[in-house]
Every structure is written in structure tokens, then in C-alpha cells.
Amino acid sequence: MAIIRTENLSRVYRENSIEVKALTDVNLQIQRGDFAVLAGPSGSGKTTLLNMLGALDRPTSGRAWLDGHEITSLSKMDRSRLRRDHIGFIFQFYNLIPVLTAYENAEFVLLLQGVSHHDRETKVSELLKKVGLSGLEHRKPHELSGGQQQRVAIARALASSPSVVLADEPTANLDSQTEQGLLDLMEQLNRDLGTTFLFSSHDPEVIDRARRLIVLRDGVVVSDTRRD
Amino acid sequence: MIARLAARNLRRHFRRTLITTIGIALGTALSLFSIGLGDGGHLQMIENGVRIGQGHLTVQMDSYLESPSTAKFLPDPEPFLAVLENHPGVRSVFPRIRGEGMLATAYAAEGVQFQGIDPSRRGEADLFRDSIAEGDFLSASDGAHIFLGQKLAQRLKVKVGRKTVLTFQDSAGEITSTLLRVSGIFRSGSSAIDGTICLVPIGTLQRALGMGQGVTSLAIYLENPFAQEAVYRQLERSLPGGSAGLYHWQTLQPDLRDYVVLDDVFGYLIYAIILFILAIGVLNTVLMSVMERKREIGILTAIGMGGGAVLRMVLLETALITLIGIAGGLVLGLAVNWYFSVHGLDLTSFSTEGWDLAGTVIDPIMRSKLRPHRVFQLCTAVFLLSVTMGIYPAVKASRTEPVEAMEKP
């Protein structure tokens, strides 16, 4: 069953009078439980596609659905709610809130959802343990290594039990050992929790781990290979 | 969580927050000091004005207001005194006769404003009683004595114990004179008062004017000058009707009223400038903070924080910084006001006796008087203005588009 579906999704950027086609008629279906990678060189449209699927940006034309919701027709507020309740984000630069501790960063979305204190505590402690950050809960992002920060970001992305985790080059700033550890972790979470992961990456290590590889070039899907 | 985020965001740029907070605190304290001193000064002026004049409230014939004359007198003040003397909020009531005449000695003659007072009444003419330069105050309500200002005495070349002749129109319009001996000389600090006013026992004037027990006015002094309007309304209902009316000092001393109002207007203008500068400081701090955190706000919105929550967070930061500033300003402002209410602001190096203005005397030692509702007004104004200034950065932040805000650093 498709958790993400797109129909002729296109995005055109206009700068001055120049038009740049970032995505052209992308038709895609991501199945629930997928561990998929969007690969392609820089400028191929990976991040643009993730932004569309993550309801962070609007397409110029075409439509997209996530977990049954048509993202492209939602209001700003509804897109915000959709992101909060259905999508987990992992970014290349971790993007943690610097004034919050690791625990608070992971807890934040649950607070926005209005989850009770007890349930938050249980969930966040469990997640931080799962990502290997037990004992570091009260550290602020600047007191953590890059790998540890990205683990916090993974915990934050998973805290709301999202339908899908969208990860934009999540290992681009990590050394290879940390990268392997994180990929192991995400694979494990995908297996254990059944969470759908969609990455964008041009890193061979990440591409190797993917069970589905979607290659983009100049905004067009040029191949879509399943490796189950 | 929004409150925690807001508080930590303020702490993140501690120095900037501190500078803004100190700015708000100093502005608030400065305004409180200015309000306290202004209100204290006005109160002193009004109190001196009503002591020299006809009280906080005055009963007099309605026609007296248009053209003052000793012919327009209350023939029987007793029914009024019966109501006034036991009325709650009334501190004292003084029957008086006011008029204009000519005071002459063997050497000179001067136009004067004479006041017939009852020296046996406690507290009557205490401003003059407290300013005796030579001799004694009037001692009997029907003695042939006069108590006059130093400047007037100098012009008339008269000393204590010497004779003067007061000439005036009696209640029937006839010119009449009475011989009065100088009992004492006062120095109020106001050359206008010291050069024109003289006090005479009321009984002496009643006899000379042929008005029986009549008086031209009943000067009413209140326990609490700020309760004037409430007492006025009560008295208006209780006093006998007829051709006599009850008047505020503001009606009888329009120069003083206008001066106080005008001074208040300038005061408000100064507070507005101070508050505007404060508000600009707050706007600058909050706007900078929002612009610096563009990426962070982008992340917050990306992970599902709604525009409303972002707006509340920024407004809460503004409110917090303002409240801390106001609290600091209150502590400082109240302490400074307390000091100046006890010790006063000593301006004797500019004038030892004070200044006369608008028919009153400004004391050279000005005492602060800060009333709770004025503190509340100022703090509310500072808070509302600052939070209003926070609306623009808050709206700007709430409209953050995550993709734009999170562009690669």
C-alpha cells in the first residue's frame, strides 16, 4: 500500500526571468515500510522532491498524497499539522534547537501534539535509549558530537510515531564509522517499528543499504529499482 | 514549552537582553520619578494655592464669581456650617470675608486684597501663621488689628504696632474706613502675596462692612484632596440651596488649574518620548533576535510548530523582557521616589523662598508624591507599548516559510 504517491509533480523556480525546472512530472509511489533512497547528483531535484513530499514546499503543478492526505491542496496550517503528526524529518545539518537539551529536542513534537507528561517521558526515554543516547539526555546540542546530534534528530523524527521519515542527506556531515552506526540504527528502526524511511543521498554507503533506489537526474526520475 | 523556549532565547543573548532590560528599567524608573515629582509639585502648589485661596471647595454667592464684591455675601452662614463642620471628608471650614481696598499709612497708600478671618479657628490661615517675620498673628476675632505681608509693609513703611487705615466699599456701596494696628508681618516667599494680601479679624470687618454675621465665603479644606470630587457630590446634595453655590478650587483659581493641566500635558509628552525610545529599543532587540533565529524558526515550523505558536513565543519573549524591565524599574523608581518624598528635592540653591506662580507658591524643596494608580498607569503603558512593538517581529516570525529559512548555511 502506497504511503506516498505523486502525480505529475513539477516544480519550477523563477529567478528574474529565468525558469529552472527542478522537478518535471514526477510519478512515484512509496510503499509503507519502504527503506528507499532518492539518489542523483547535486541539483538533480532530490531535496526539492523531499520538500514537496514533506509539505514544506508547494509544487508548481501536479499532486501528491501522504498517508491519504492530498498535500498539495492543504492550507498552511493543515500542512503544519500534517508535518507534526505524520512526518519525521532528519536534516543534513541536524537542525536541532540549540537552547533545548537532547531530551527536550526529542520531546518537542510530542509537546506540540499535547501528549501527556507521563507518555512523553516514557516515549522519549525509550527513544533516546534506542538511539544510544542514554545518559546524554540533558546535554545541549553544542555539547554533543555530530553523530550524537544526528541521533537526537532521529529520536525527534520518530517521537511522534510518524507515517514516514524523510531524511535529507542525513549522513553527509558524518565520518564513515558514525555513518555506518546511524544507518544500522535507521535500518533497525525501520525493521522493528515498520517506519517508512525515504532518504536523499548521493553517498554510495547509503545507496548500498537502500532496499529501493530511485534515481533522479535533472528533475526527472530516470530509474526506480527495488532490491528486496 | 513555549515559555521555556522564550526564556532560554532571552538568556542566549544575555548581554543584549540585559541592555534592553536595563533600558526599560531606567526608562520606567525615570518616568516614575518624573511622575512622582510632578504630582508632588502639583500637590504642593495646589495645597499652597488653596491655603492662600478659598479651600479645596468654597461656598459663596453665585453672583460673587462674576463680579466679586463684599455686597454679595451669605447673610446667614450657620445652616451651611452645620452641614459642613461634621461632614465626613471635611477637615475644616473657615468663614471668610474677601475684598479689595486701600491700605494707607502716614507715608504711603497701597491697593490690597483683604481677608477677614477668624483667628480663633484652629488651622485658619496657617500658611501665614507659619510665615511670621515680625510680631504676632491676629489674636482675636474682633480686634482692630491687621496682619500683612513684608513687601506691603515695606512699601507702606509700617512696622509692628503702628497704625494703618483700611478703606473699602461697605456692603451698601458706601466708602468706609477702619483704623487697624499692625499685629505682625509675614513672609510667604511669594512677592505677589507678600505685596498685596493683608488679614483682618472677621468680626472687625463684619462690623465695618455692616454685614452682621455674614461672610463672603466658606472655605472648605478636605482630609484627602484626591477625594475632592466625591465630597463635592455629597455636599452638593446636603447643602442648603438658594443663591449660594459650591465651587471647586479649579473654578475659583483658573490660573492654577490651567498651569497644572498644561504642566501635566508637557509631562505626558515627556513620558511619551521616553516610552517611545524604550519601545524602539524593544523592537530592535526582538527584531534582531527573530532575524538571527530565522533558520531555527524555520526548523520549528518544519517539525510542526504552527504560526500561532511561533507568534505567541515571540510575544512572550517581548512580554518577559518587558516585565523584567518593569520590575527593575519599579524597584528603582519606588526607591528614588521614597527618598525624594522623605528628603525632598532641594532647590534652595536656586531660591531660598520658592517661586510664586499662578497665584500660589512653589516650595524650594519639592517632595515626590506617587499614587498607586499612576504607577499602574505607567507600567501598563510600558507593557502594552512594548508588547505592541513585539507584534511586527512576531508576525514576521510566524510567517516563516521553512524551506526558505532552512536554506543550507
Mean pLDDT of A212-223: 93
pLDDT in tens, B361-390: 777 788 999 999 999 999 999 999 999 999
Mean pLDDT of B26-35: 93
- Helices A117-130 and A146-159 meet at what angle, rounded to 10? 140
Contact check, Cβ <8 Å, B8/A57? no
Q: Is B267 on the interface with A (CB under 8 A)?
A: no
> What pTM does this model have?
0.78
CB < 8 Å to B296, chain A: 97-98
A-B contacts at Cβ under 8 angstroms: 66
Looking at the partner chain, which of B1, B402, B403 has a beta carbon nearest the beta carbon of A108? Answer: B1
Which of B 285-324 lie inside 8 A of A, CB atoms? 295-296, 299-307, 309
pLDDT at B165: 94
DSSP β-bridge partners for residue A66: A4, A69
Contact check, Cβ <8 Å, A112/B304? yes
Shortest distance between the Cα of A228 and any Cα of chain B, in A, equals 31
pLDDT in tens, B36-52: 999 998 888 888 888 87
Using DSSP's 3-state secondary structure scheme, residue B69 falls into coil
Residue B279 has pLDDT above 70, yes or no: yes
- Helices B2-12 and B14-52 meet at what angle, rounded to 10? 90
* B62-71, B79-88, B113-122: least confident range: B62-71
- Kindly list the residues of chain A whose beta carbon comes within 8 Å of any beta carbon in chain B: 51, 54, 56-57, 76-77, 80-81, 83-85, 89, 91-93, 95-100, 104, 107-109, 111-113, 156, 160
Looking at the partner chain, which of B8, B299, B303 has a beta carbon nearest the beta carbon of A84? Answer: B303
Contact check, Cβ <8 Å, A104/B1? yes
B300 sits in which H/E element: helix B294-302
Looking at the partner chain, which of A80, A91, A109 has a beta carbon nearest the beta carbon of B306? Answer: A80
CB < 8 Å to B313, chain A: none
pLDDT in tens, B299-338: 999 999 999 999 999 999 999 999 999 999 999 999 999 9
Strands (E) located in chain A: 2-15, 18-31, 35-39, 61-66, 69-70, 87-90, 164-168, 196-201, 212-217, 220-226
CA distance linking residue B353 with residue B192, whole number of Å: 13
pLDDT at B409: 55
* B83-97, B230-244, B256-270, B358-372: least confident range: B358-372
Shortest distance between the Cα of A161 and any Cα of chain B, in A, equals 13
B352 pLDDT band, cuts 50/70/90, is: low
Contact check, Cβ <8 Å, B303/A111? no
Q: Is B342 on the interface with A (CB under 8 A)?
A: no
Q: Is B100 on the interface with A (CB under 8 A)?
A: no
> In terms of CA atoms, which chain B residue is nearest residue A117?
B1
Mean pLDDT of A10-35: 90
Strands A164-168, A87-90: pairing kind: parallel
